[in-house]
Amino acid sequence: MNEIKIFAPATVANISCGFDVLGCCLDSIGDEMIVRKSADKGVKITKIVGEILPFETEKNVAGVAATALLEKLKTKLDFGFEIEIYKNIKPGSGIGSSAASAAGVVFAMNKLLGEPFSKLELVEFSREGERLACGSPIADNVAPALFGGFTLVKSTNPLKVIELPTLPDLYAIIIHPQIEIKTSDSRAVLPNTVSLEDATKQWANLGSLVHALHMKNYELFSESLVDFIVEPHRSKLIPDFDKVKQKSIQAGALGCGISGSGPSIFTFCKGMQIADNVTNVISEVYNKTQIPYHMYSSKINTQGVKILVI
Amino acid sequence: MNEIKIFAPATVANISCGFDVLGCCLDSIGDEMIVRKSADKGVKITKIVGEILPFETEKNVAGVAATALLEKLKTKLDFGFEIEIYKNIKPGSGIGSSAASAAGVVFAMNKLLGEPFSKLELVEFSREGERLACGSPIADNVAPALFGGFTLVKSTNPLKVIELPTLPDLYAIIIHPQIEIKTSDSRAVLPNTVSLEDATKQWANLGSLVHALHMKNYELFSESLVDFIVEPHRSKLIPDFDKVKQKSIQAGALGCGISGSGPSIFTFCKGMQIADNVTNVISEVYNKTQIPYHMYSSKINTQGVKILVI
């Protein structure tokens, strides 16, 4: 096997009560990547389509993740890798654009190498891409991108990822308003400290949400999708967030929150009919704002990165 | 049916990462109560054995919980209830002494009345007893006392209790040092605010612990029994807490923490052999302190309050 084409999925992190730990993997939004063995050693990015991103390996998240993998290989390779990136996920959208690139490339290389690494090790390599993209080796997007479904990052040092069950009839609707929120702004609004009372409510809800996933209990899942800590602050940076939330829940959504650090907003819905209704009401809200936007509707991807052509 | 004798179990609340929300029910520690219909209307406490506690209905947690139940009855009764309390759980021990009295009496009355109320409603009545005992209608002891097993109090207003699965081979070892920690002191050491970083670790662990219970994963259960928020403060009030924790974990315990607001310390162990070893090492630590103590070893009670004689 000398070449592989893969689908690198978008992901939703910071899911309501699961700030910094809970994410899920999407099915119909993602990048494509071709990775092939090359005579030249090392990693070379040969093509980037869809976005203007650096070709220099050390400045590109895929390049950095790929290099992290190569450095951990015990045997010295007499070949290298070429990477083509077909970008569909907009950088800065809040649905794991950098995570997709990082997770996708290490998944592909691992396949071409005969799978010497576990998924958890691939998460470790991908985190190095995240470190480049956002200054910190966060794992809550790369974990669901690689494992699929819902994942809980129990700890980052040592890295421990828990694969949670998913709800079979769950759809995620994402609206990505075409605005830029500076990382510095989305961090600046985060409180350093939170009240013990709010923190307690938050962990009660996260515990409850994990239980709901195990029990396939949509109602409890819905009741648990509450964020007392981060959303009240960050939602102010997203135009009409409150209206999107209110209208989508009126239209039957199970919950609504900020995807990653925004500006994308996610909602979860049970079944395609409600998902369609929610898509419509969110569009109506945003059509009035004059802000351009993209919308996506996706089932939960329980597989993570997928092989397209091998 | 005119009379019932029940077992009202002790409980462990504030289980490590589940401060204020996660509790579990014990099997071999608890009070006994006899409740019988009487010609006189209302509630009368006729006997208290084992502890000196008030007989006045409105000053006794069982009396207050019983009254709360009576007030919610739709039909007017032409009889009342007599309550005998055989107290084994020491008040102020941190293993749900007041919760046992409150939960026990409403469970018994509900049986004598033909079960007009759900378990959740019984938790509501019992909380009134807790309000008398500790100034706040906490639910994290009365919930496991009534539902059994592990419970998560998702919210208190409205009250929502989640019954979690348990681990089949789990033992709880409790040491109750015979010291008094004033409620005011155990509250005063609690921080009003916590860092977002610590709060995030805490909810990652609670999510992980709920997952571990569902998966019957003892190792993950053990890894999740961590408290970044409360234990570092409250453990200072309990002599040799750190030593008990260290020795019990060395002896194979899955985890160790403060039961309720102390002074009791709980450990969880897999299997009776390890439970016995852990009991021994904890005894060794406390024998050196000259502080008198009680120790209990119990399986998890998955049933809650039990009928002894009907």
Backbone angles phi, psi at B268, to 5 degrees: -110, 140
Interchain pair B203, A208: CB under 8 A:
no
Residue A186: which pLDDT band, with cuts at 50, 70 and 90? confident
Interchain pair A18, B223: CB under 8 A:
no
Q: Region A169-190: what's the mean pLDDT?
A: 91
A213/chain B closest Cα distance in angstroms: 10
B9 close to B25: Cβ distance less than 8 angstroms? yes
The pLDDT score that the predictor gives to residue B183 is: 75
Instruction: Confirm whether pTM is higher than 0.90.
Output: yes
DSSP A140-173: TTHHHHHH-SEEEEEEETTEEEEEEP--TTEEEE
Which active-site residues of A does the annotation give? 130, 183
The pLDDT score that the predictor gives to residue B186 is: 85
Residue B185: which pLDDT band, with cuts at 50, 70 and 90? confident
Using an 8 Å CB-CB cutoff, list chain B residues near A220. 162
The pLDDT score that the predictor gives to residue B74 is: 82
Using an 8 Å CB-CB cutoff, list chain A residues near B164. 211
- Report the mean per-residue pLDDT for chain B: 96
Among the partner residues B160, B199, B224, nearest to A199 by beta-carbon distance:
B199
pLDDT at position B53 over 80: yes
Residue B121: which pLDDT band, with cuts at 50, 70 and 90? very high
Give helix then strand counts, H and E, for chain B: 10, 12
d(CA A243, CA A151): 29
Sorted by where each begins, the domain ranges of chain A are 3-164+301-309, 170-299
Among the partner residues B193, B202, B207, nearest to A210 by beta-carbon distance:
B207
Which residue in the list B183, B200, B219, B284 is annotated as catalytic?
A: B183
Residue A282: which pLDDT band, with cuts at 50, 70 and 90? very high
Q: Region A29-48: what's the mean pLDDT?
A: 96
pLDDT at position A310 over 90: no
Could you report the per-residue pLDDT of B213-224, keeping only the tens digit for each?
Answer: 999 999 999 999
Interchain pair B204, A154: CB under 8 A:
yes
d(CA B159, CA A113): 54
The pLDDT score that the predictor gives to residue A93 is: 94
The pLDDT score that the predictor gives to residue B181 is: 87
Among the partner residues B22, B204, B209, nearest to A21 by beta-carbon distance:
B204
Q: Region A121-150: what's the mean pLDDT?
A: 95
Q: Mutating which of A210, A215, A226 best tests the B interface, going by the most B Cβ atoms within 10 A?
A: A210
Q: Mutating which of B210, B222, B228 best tests the A interface, going by the most A Cβ atoms within 10 A?
A: B210
pLDDT at position B280 over 80: yes
The pLDDT score that the predictor gives to residue A184 is: 77
Q: How many CA atoms lie within 13 A of A81 on its CB side?
A: 29
The pLDDT score that the predictor gives to residue B182 is: 79
The pLDDT score that the predictor gives to residue A230 is: 96
Could you report the per-residue pLDDT of A51-102, keeping only the tens digit for each?
Answer: 999 999 999 999 999 999 999 998 889 999 999 999 999 999 999 999 999 9
B79/chain A closest Cα distance in angstroms: 40
- The token pair at B37 is 């219909």
- Exposed, middle or buried by CB within 10 Å (0-12, 13-18, 19+), for B57? middle
Q: A200 to each of B15, B16, B63, B230, how far by Cα in Å?
A: 13, 12, 30, 11
Q: Mutating which of B150, B152, B154, B234 best tests the A interface, going by the most A Cβ atoms within 10 A?
A: B154
Q: Region B233-251: what's the mean pLDDT?
A: 97
Return the ∠ at Cα A192 (arms to A189 and A193), rounded to 5°. 120
pLDDT at position B184 over 90: no
A186 close to A176: Cβ distance less than 8 angstroms? no
Please write down the HEC assignment for all residues of A43-103. Answer: EEEEEEECCCCCCCHHHCHHHHHHHHHHHHCCCCCCCEEEEEEECCCCCCCCCCHHHHHHH
Using an 8 Å CB-CB cutoff, list chain B residues near A160. 208, 223
- Report the mean per-residue pLDDT for chain A: 96
What ipTM goes with this model?
0.95
Domains A3-164+301-309 and A170-299 share a fold: no
pLDDT at position B169 over 80: yes
Q: Region A275-293: what's the mean pLDDT?
A: 97
- The token pair at A90 is 């907009």
Interchain pair A207, B155: CB under 8 A:
no
Q: Name the strand (E) or helix (H) holding B231.
A: helix B231-234
Count of pairs with CB atoms under 8 A, one residue in A, one in B = 118
Nearest to B207 by CA among A304, A15, A168, A9: A15
Q: Are strands A170-177 and A293-299 parallel, antiparallel or unpaired?
A: antiparallel
Interchain pair A206, B207: CB under 8 A:
yes
Domain at B170-299: CATH architecture:
2-Layer Sandwich (3.30)
Low-confidence winner among A158-172, A271-285, B174-188, B231-245 (lowest mean pLDDT): B174-188
Residue B187: which pLDDT band, with cuts at 50, 70 and 90? confident
- Distance between the two ends of chain B, CA-based, in angstroms? 7
Q: Region B160-182: what's the mean pLDDT?
A: 96
Interchain pair A207, B21: CB under 8 A:
yes
Q: Name the strand (E) or helix (H) holding B101.
A: helix B97-112
d(CA B217, CA B215): 5
B130 close to B99: Cβ distance less than 8 angstroms? yes
Q: Under CATH, to which class is A3-164+301-309 assigned?
A: alpha beta
d(CA B226, CA B214): 18
B152/chain A closest Cα distance in angstroms: 7
B118 close to B73: Cβ distance less than 8 angstroms? no
